[in-house]
């Protein structure tokens, strides 16, 4: 299956083309940057504002601390980027924080990280879309007037797009991201020129307002606490940094190096934009308050509930470019778009993480297929549902949602960095080469610093935000953790239960003979097919069984049976209550009692239909019977399908589904990147190919 | 299965006792009367009031027409009773109106009757419960203040009772019905004594109110129309009369004669009660209005929305016994209870009719099992849902609901009577005995008169009530009719499609050899069992197939395979996308291409679990694979079950379900009443019995 030279196979299998295509779309850095960085870069759209909001509690004078907070965020950003550059080199497989934590700290730590990430994905959607709506609202008032509705509508739209399997393309990400980055940089540059060179006074829309300090004149511990809280809010700028470490396989070679460079680039851009926006906000006198309606004053009176507090980035843009100007609108649109793209990354990440967790049996096993439609659908619906509920509850207010946000990120940062320290410790035990040892030691130092710093931030976030909403995120993590632990425990218990003994002659699993029964209601094609198939199997005894639900029907069946001279004996079971299931179960049980060492094989003709409502009309008795038969030991149940004409419709749908592409494939890199060997022998394959060329592809 | 002398069988099968029990519970007339008559007798609780309500439109002076309307209702009642006595004699099988119409007028007429009856059952629940709540409310004000809530609560309660399969007992019906009948007769007698003998003036609670005539001074056509409308409303007293004709098999012998006598008894009681209540209402000066809030006046001013217009029966009881007196409360409670029992009859009738319709393939076939739990559950939930919606929409207002009610009843009366006329015509063609011919001719005359009269009433009802709500009932009938026609057409089409040709050597259904595949993921007990079973089947080729989703797992599988020396060859399919379904489908298709005349048999080990949530954790891949495999021609799929320990829980539940009794069994009569013969030969049975006595009953 690795080489696709033969045309019939290409036509038959088709999807293998995907593998080719993916191979072609390995990401160059200039595309990888927007693909992976839309999440962290977009967070500069709300992080600076959050800092000012918190500071405003102590009055506008506290704004003077904002540069210091910006510096702290920048230092943290560099730390995290430096740390993750180590991850990228050490784990080029793209396993991400879950892999790092599981490998180095054990499954419980891994599961904690996974729970944190799952919660985080939900919040990425809720926060990014809410913030996107707010940015869009600065240009289109209607949107902000119907905030919750619009936010939920965008969630629904993204959900539908992802359920349909719209292919993510690098270029699609590149344009708005670059427009956004360019826009912000132009704004910073133009603002600097206007302010410093031309000496213009730029005034934000809220420049003339004053802030009513909720807690004026804070000092000492209270002030420190407030500053820490402002810093925690600023840390929202760091969300999504870890995305690149999950995506290493998608990079062009040398993968790790390119990924590390992209990471550095992304960090540089993010901090520049973050600091630039904060500086411009100070220069243009942006005033923001946590409760704008009562704490923002115009000429001494509160602005009231009708006032919409636009995001910092749009206020700054209004000051620099002029409100409603072309560049202002472009930047607002690009900001909203980048934020929606950031939300979209969660739609890719959540089901993917789910499939990895399923592989480790923390989630239902059938979800572990990579790129499987069902797995993706389930994950997407769960994600969208949770995000929509949160968005609805919090009224699409990004400020309130952000209180929940950063907990998960920093849990995962911290555990991942601790894991990396352990990783280096382990490698240092065996590594002899002094040059390599030195490099490892410095990596370890970086990761240790990262772990300490992010751990501290986590503590600060928990301390300052617990009552503001962080508890909700923690609760979510606990729920995920407990559920996944329970699922894993169930699988382990079942696995013990079904483990094969080493004595192969297990009495339970070795019947000696087979009695076959074919269920018959009428003599029609499905029945005849089932009879023929059953005959092919050459079991020890074979009889046709019918239940006498209606006397006239039974008589007709007997006559038809004799008329056709069907040589299989027909047994009719009495059913005084017109039941079908029970007489058959009783008959099977009596067969089993007669010869307990034998197995009973029941053939059920089954209709294959094309529409869901036809399921209501067919096979229901068969399904129920099968359900009951399976509880009887020593019984196997064979469905002999009869494809009704209408089943063609379902076949067509299935074929369409087969062409479905898992969203987010581009950021995961091609499958071929994994080491793989074809398991069918060379000879097998040649033989098969031979046959295929001779046999026309009549099926499908 | 007919004789239950052997103890082991009795223990094993158990339920056969039911048949015995039913045999003992054949109904004597004194029990049959309350069982079947709760519906028609209970309607005297609301029918008289409806007559007065309509007349009040023309002012209180129109009340003088009420005796004439009562006479018309009495004549109609006698006609219908006389007609149905003919049905009972001609169709002792209890098929009811659907059978009569189908046999004599063809399937379209039968389906019309069935649709009418289904709608009617829904309305029986809605009307009876709403009226019951109103009667209860005359004694307990809270109930009437939360009318809709209480009515829906009663619907939910009845639904749960019926879903759980509470056995209907004749005695349970007898007590409240006889208390109700006795109460009404005592009331009539005591009222007559007080009024005529003692000369007391009895005053109903509304005696001092006056009625504002919406359309005072009606005359000519308008008055006739109003009288006809009042008569239509009074016809509500006839609902449920047909119930006995469905229940003939439940009577003691001579069945038809006893049923006919009970019918006459019921008619006599109903008309006496109906007339007595109307007479008392006139004597005690009951005043009722369609819109009491504005049309009932106290000292010239409307009573307003706070006023509760109690049902006629309770107003009369208040006048005769005194409001709040012991007998008043007993009668109110008995009335409510009888009305709830009347609603309960619909819970039995609806699913039963559904199962008859399913037998005729107008409804999904799996519902045709008599007394089957699933069929009953579906029917009950559908009935309760529709009734609850109607009750909610109409605010549990029995007066508004009654506008919808009688259409269905009279459609079914009329078609059934026309059918009976045809029935006699047909029999008269062949009958020679002059005595019998005379009897048939007189029966025909009665039925012809019944058909004409009920047909006229139907026309009147449609004419006078169409805009008042009868259109809703008609719409419901059309929906049922169209749906059932579509289902029947689907079944017929499929039946044509699968009809066996007369050339038995059909190429399509005659494969020559079988390739067997056993799906393997790991070597554990379920896999080993599947392998052993597959080996038993001696197919032409047998191979184990595994999909390489995870390399390490696959390697472990190969090693275990060799270590155990399993002689079945193991084939590993590559799966670059970690899919399970597609590689197997492709492999099966390639086998089919290699030898198109052969069949492929796929064995899938399947887990049998005990809780619904475990289904989410197991078998999902297997089920999806199976779903896809069945679309591939020439494939059969065998489930080899492995019962997990937890499956015991489900087994216990199943055993409990097996002891479930279909509600309403008592009114349908025992199954033994149908002619039946045991289909297994005498020899077979003896052999089986022999075995059973030797083999201890280890299973179950």
Enumerate domains of chain B plus CATH numbers: 29-490 (1.20.1740.10), 512-669 (3.40.50.620)
| SS3 state of residue B543 | strand
Q: Which residues contact A463 (CB under 8 A, 6 or more apart)?
A: A228
Two tokens, residue A75:
């230092």
The per-residue pLDDT for range B450-508, each reduced to its tens digit, is 999 999 989 988 988 888 888 999 999 999 999 999 999 999 988 888 887 766 555 45
Percent of chain B with pLDDT over 70: 86
CA distances from A496 to A17, A180, B541, B645 (A): 41, 55, 32, 11
Q: Which residue in B309, B275, B519, B461 sits closest to B397, CA to CA?
A: B309
pLDDT at B666: 61
The per-residue pLDDT for range B40-83, each reduced to its tens digit, is 889 889 999 999 988 888 888 888 899 999 999 999 999 999 98
pLDDT at A316: 92
- Quote the crossing angle between the two packed helices B66-90 and B47-55, to the nearest 10°: 140
| Cβ distance of A676 and B635 shorter than 8 Å | no
**pLDDT mean over A643-669:** 70
User: Residue A490 is nearest to which of B15, B550, B617, comparing CB atoms?
Assistant: B617
| Interchain CB contact of A628 with B (< 8 Å) | yes
**pLDDT mean over B617-642:** 84
> Above 60 in pLDDT, residue B672?
no
Q: What angle do CA A42, A43, A48 make, to 5 degrees?
A: 125
Q: Among A441-445, B534-538, B634-638, whose mean pLDDT is lowest?
A: B534-538
Cα distance between residue B446 and residue B417, in whole Å: 9
- Cβ-Cβ contacts under 8 Å, A527 against chain B: 500
Given a contact cutoff of 8 angstroms between Cβ atoms, the answer to whether B629 and B585 are in contact is yes
* Neighbour order of strands in the sheet with B296-298: B210-211, B296-298, B301-302
pLDDT at A416: 92
Partners of B638 in the β-ladder = A638, B603
| Interchain CB contact of B435 with A (< 8 Å) | no
- Cβ-Cβ contacts under 8 Å, B630 against chain A: 606, 608, 639, 641, 643
> Above 70 in pLDDT, residue A581?
yes
> Above 60 in pLDDT, residue A693?
no
Averaged confidence pLDDT in chain A: 82
Given a contact cutoff of 8 angstroms between Cβ atoms, the answer to whether A144 and A134 are in contact is yes
Q: Which residue in B165, B23, B31, B89 sits closest to B671, CA to CA?
A: B23
Given pLDDT bands bounded at 50, 70 and 90, which one contains residue B383? very high
Q: What is the DSSP letter of A509?
A: G
> Above 70 in pLDDT, residue A669?
no
**pLDDT mean over B362-373:** 71
- Cβ-Cβ contacts under 8 Å, B526 against chain A: 498
Given pLDDT bands bounded at 50, 70 and 90, which one contains residue A22? very low
Which burial class, exposed, middle or buried, applies to B553 when counting CB atoms under 10 A from its CB (0-12, 13-18, 19+)?
A: middle
The per-residue pLDDT for range A472-493, each reduced to its tens digit, is 999 999 999 999 999 999 999 9
| Interchain CB contact of A597 with B (< 8 Å) | no
| Interchain CB contact of B4 with A (< 8 Å) | no
| Interchain CB contact of B655 with A (< 8 Å) | no
Separation in Å, CA of B377 to nearest CA in chain A: 15
> Above 60 in pLDDT, residue B352?
yes
Percent of chain A with pLDDT over 90: 33
The per-residue pLDDT for range A292-350, each reduced to its tens digit, is 888 888 888 888 877 888 899 999 999 999 888 899 999 999 999 999 989 988 887 88
pLDDT at B422: 93
Q: Which residue in A75, A52, A32, A48 sits closest to A184, CA to CA?
A: A48
pLDDT at A411: 92
A546 → chain B, closest CA residue: B679
Cα distance between residue B572 and residue A661, in whole Å: 25
Which range, A315-319, A379-383, B592-596, is most confident? A315-319
pLDDT at B303: 84
B627 → chain A, closest CA residue: A608
The per-residue pLDDT for range A534-561, each reduced to its tens digit, is 888 878 889 999 998 878 889 999 999 9
Separation in Å, CA of A110 to nearest CA in chain B: 20
| Cβ distance of A359 and B550 shorter than 8 Å | yes
Separation in Å, CA of B666 to nearest CA in chain A: 14
**pLDDT mean over A446-474:** 90
Cα distance between residue B384 and residue A502, in whole Å: 56
Cα distance between residue A373 and residue B180, in whole Å: 63
| Interchain CB contact of B528 with A (< 8 Å) | yes
The per-residue pLDDT for range A275-292, each reduced to its tens digit, is 999 999 999 989 888 888
pLDDT at A313: 92
Q: Among A625-634, B237-246, B315-324, B370-379, whose mean pLDDT is lowest?
A: B370-379
Backbone angles phi, psi at A118, to 5 degrees: -60, -45
Averaged confidence pLDDT in chain B: 82
| Interchain CB contact of A148 with B (< 8 Å) | no
**B17: cis peptide before it, omega within 30°?**
no
CA distances from B80 to A236, B74, B255, B414, B442 (A): 80, 10, 20, 10, 15
> Above 60 in pLDDT, residue B684?
no
The per-residue pLDDT for range B384-423, each reduced to its tens digit, is 999 999 999 999 888 889 888 888 889 999 999 999 999 9
| SS3 state of residue B538 | coil
Q: How many contiguous H segments (helices) and E segments (strands) does chain B have? A: 28, 8
| Interchain CB contact of A290 with B (< 8 Å) | no
A with B: how many residue pairs have Cβ under 8 Å apart?
302
Q: Which residues contact B301 (CB under 8 A, 6 or more apart)?
A: none
Which burial class, exposed, middle or buried, applies to B455 when counting CB atoms under 10 A from its CB (0-12, 13-18, 19+)?
A: middle
> Above 90 in pLDDT, residue B359?
no
| Cβ distance of B593 and A369 shorter than 8 Å | no
> Is the model more confident about B687 or about A340?
A340
Backbone angles phi, psi at B514, to 5 degrees: -125, 130
A586 → chain B, closest CA residue: B13
Partners of A571 in the β-ladder = A545
| Cβ distance of A529 and B536 shorter than 8 Å | no
Which of B6, B382, B498, B561 should be substituted to probe chain A, the one whose Cβ sees the most A Cβ atoms within 10 Å?
Answer: B498
| Interchain CB contact of A514 with B (< 8 Å) | yes
> Is the model more confident about A374 or about A578?
A578
Cα distance between residue A417 and residue A457, in whole Å: 13
| Cβ distance of B641 and A631 shorter than 8 Å | yes
| Cβ distance of A631 and B643 shorter than 8 Å | yes
Given a contact cutoff of 8 angstroms between Cβ atoms, the answer to whether B132 and B343 are in contact is yes
| Cβ distance of A641 and B618 shorter than 8 Å | no
Percent of chain B with pLDDT over 90: 34
Given pLDDT bands bounded at 50, 70 and 90, which one contains residue A215? confident
| SS3 state of residue A605 | strand
| Cβ distance of A638 and B586 shorter than 8 Å | no
Buried b (16+ CB within 10 A) or exposed e, B20-40: eebeebbbeeebbbbbbbbbb
User: Residue B628 is nearest to which of A578, A621, A654, comparing CB atoms?
Assistant: A654
> Above 60 in pLDDT, residue B302?
yes
Two tokens, residue A107:
């499954």
| Cβ distance of A578 and B369 shorter than 8 Å | yes
pLDDT at A495: 87
pLDDT at A167: 57
| Interchain CB contact of A426 with B (< 8 Å) | no
Partners of B510 in the β-ladder = none
Q: What angle do CA A147, A153, A157 make, to 5 degrees?
A: 145
Q: What is the DSSP letter of A578?
A: -
| Interchain CB contact of A174 with B (< 8 Å) | no
Q: Which residue in B66, B147, B160, B537 sits closest to A602, CA to CA?
A: B537
| Interchain CB contact of A656 with B (< 8 Å) | no
Separation in Å, CA of B560 to nearest CA in chain A: 11
> Above 50 in pLDDT, residue B441?
yes
Given a contact cutoff of 8 angstroms between Cβ atoms, the answer to whether A12 and A659 are in contact is no
Interface of A with B in 324-363 (CB under 8 A): 359
| Interchain CB contact of A648 with B (< 8 Å) | no
| Interchain CB contact of A549 with B (< 8 Å) | yes
pLDDT at B166: 57
| Interchain CB contact of B93 with A (< 8 Å) | no
> Above 60 in pLDDT, residue B257?
yes
Given pLDDT bands bounded at 50, 70 and 90, which one contains residue A448? very high
Given a contact cutoff of 8 angstroms between Cβ atoms, the answer to whether A634 and B699 are in contact is no
> Above 80 in pLDDT, residue A673?
no
- Cβ-Cβ contacts under 8 Å, A19 against chain B: 576
Two tokens, residue A108:
């419980």
pLDDT at A303: 84
User: Residue A509 is nearest to which of B528, B596, B691, comparing CB atoms?
Assistant: B528
> Is the model more confident about B499 or about B125?
B125
User: Residue B371 is nearest to which of A1, A572, A577, comparing CB atoms?
Assistant: A577
- Cβ-Cβ contacts under 8 Å, B497 against chain A: 644-645
| Interchain CB contact of A490 with B (< 8 Å) | yes
- Cβ-Cβ contacts under 8 Å, B93 against chain A: none
B492 → chain A, closest CA residue: A617
Cα distance between residue A695 and residue B408, in whole Å: 63
Pairing of strands A599-608, A514-519: parallel
pLDDT at A370: 55
């Amino acid at each position: 299956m690795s080489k696709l030279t033969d045309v019939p196979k290409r036509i038959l299998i088709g999807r293998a083309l995907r593998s080719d295509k993916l191979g072609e779309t390995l990401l160059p850095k200039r595309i990888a940057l927007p693909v992976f960085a839309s999440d962290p870069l977009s967070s500069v759209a709300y992080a600076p504002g959050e800092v000012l909001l918190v500071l405003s509690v102590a009055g506008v004078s506290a704004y003077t601390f904002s540069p210091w907070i910006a510096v702290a965020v920048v230092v943290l950003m560099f730390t995290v980027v430096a740390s993750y550059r180590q991850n990228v080199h050490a784990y080029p497989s793209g396993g991400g924080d879950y892999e790092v934590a599981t490998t180095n700290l054990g499954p419980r730590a891994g599961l904690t990280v996974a729970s944190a990430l799952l919660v985080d994905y939900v919040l990425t959607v809720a926060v990014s879309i809410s913030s996107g709506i707010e940015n869009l609202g600065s240009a289109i008032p209607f949107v902000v007037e119907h905030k919750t509705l619009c936010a939920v509508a965008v969630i629904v739209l993204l959900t539908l797009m992802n359920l349909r399997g719209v292919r993510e393309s690098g270029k699609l990400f590149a344009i708005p991201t670059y427009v956004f980055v360019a826009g912000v940089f132009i704004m910073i540059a133009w603002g600097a020129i206007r302010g410093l060179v031309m000496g213009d006074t730029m005034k934000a829309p809220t420049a003339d307002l004053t802030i009513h300090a909720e807690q004026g004149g804070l000092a000492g511990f209270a002030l420190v606490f407030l500053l820490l809280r402002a810093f925690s809010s600023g840390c929202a700028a760091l969300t999504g940094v870890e995305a690149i470490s999950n995506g290493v396989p998608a990079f062009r070679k040398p993968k790790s190096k390119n990924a590390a460079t992209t990471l550095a680039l992304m960090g540089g851009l993010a901090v520049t934009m973050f600091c630039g926006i904060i500086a411009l906000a100070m220069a243009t006198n942006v005033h923001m308050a946590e409760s704008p309606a009562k704490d923002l004053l115009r000429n001494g009176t509160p602005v009231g509930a009708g006032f919409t507090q636009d995001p910092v980035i749009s206020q700054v843009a209004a000051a620099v470019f002029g409100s409603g100007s072309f560049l202002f609108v472009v930047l607002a649109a690009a900001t909203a778009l980048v934020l929606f793209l950031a939300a979209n990354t969660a739609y890719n990440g959540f089901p993917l993480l789910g499939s990895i967790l399923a592989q480790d049996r923390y989630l239902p096993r059938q979800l572990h297929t990579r790129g499987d439609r069902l797995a993706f659908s389930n994950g997407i619906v769960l994600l969208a549902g949770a995000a929509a509920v949160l968005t609805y509850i919090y009224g699409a207010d990004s400020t309130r949602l952000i209180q929940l946000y950063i907990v998960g990120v920093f849990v995962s940062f911290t555990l991942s960095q601790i894991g990396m320290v352990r990783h280096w410790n382990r490698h240092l035990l065996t590594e002899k080469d002094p040059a390599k040892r030195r490099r490892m030691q410095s990596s370890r130092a970086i990761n240790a610093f990262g772990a300490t710093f992010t751990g501290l931030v986590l503590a600060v976030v928990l301390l300052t935000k617990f009552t503001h909403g962080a508890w909700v995120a923690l609760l979510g993590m606990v729920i995920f953790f407990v559920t996944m632990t329970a699922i894993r425990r169930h699988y382990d218990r079942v696995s013990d239960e079904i483990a094969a003994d080493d004595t192969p002659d297990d009495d339970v699993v070795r019947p000696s003979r087979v009695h076959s029964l074919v269920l018959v209601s009428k003599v029609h094609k499905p029945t005849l097919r089932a009879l023929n198939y059953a005959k092919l199997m050459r079991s020890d005894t074979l009889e046709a069984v019918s239940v006498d639900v209606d006397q006239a029907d039974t008589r007709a069946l007997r006559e038809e049976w004799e008329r056709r001279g069907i040589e299989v004996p027909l047994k009719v079971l009495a059913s005084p209550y017109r039941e079908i299931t029970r007489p058959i179960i009783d008959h099977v049980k009596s067969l089993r009692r007669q010869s307990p060492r034998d197995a009973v094989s029941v053939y059920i003709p089954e209709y294959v239909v094309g529409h869901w409502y036809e399921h209501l009309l067919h096979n229901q008795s068969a399904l129920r019977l099968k359900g009951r038969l399976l509880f009887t030991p020593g019984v196997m149940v064979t469905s002999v399908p009869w494809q009704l004409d209408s089943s063609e419709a379902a076949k067509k749908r299935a074929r369409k589904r087969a062409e479905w592409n898992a969203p987010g494939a581009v950021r995961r890199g091609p499958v071929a990147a994994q080491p793989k060997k074809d398991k069918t022998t060379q000879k097998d394959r040649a033989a098969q190919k031979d046959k295929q060329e001779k046999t026309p592809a009549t099926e499908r």
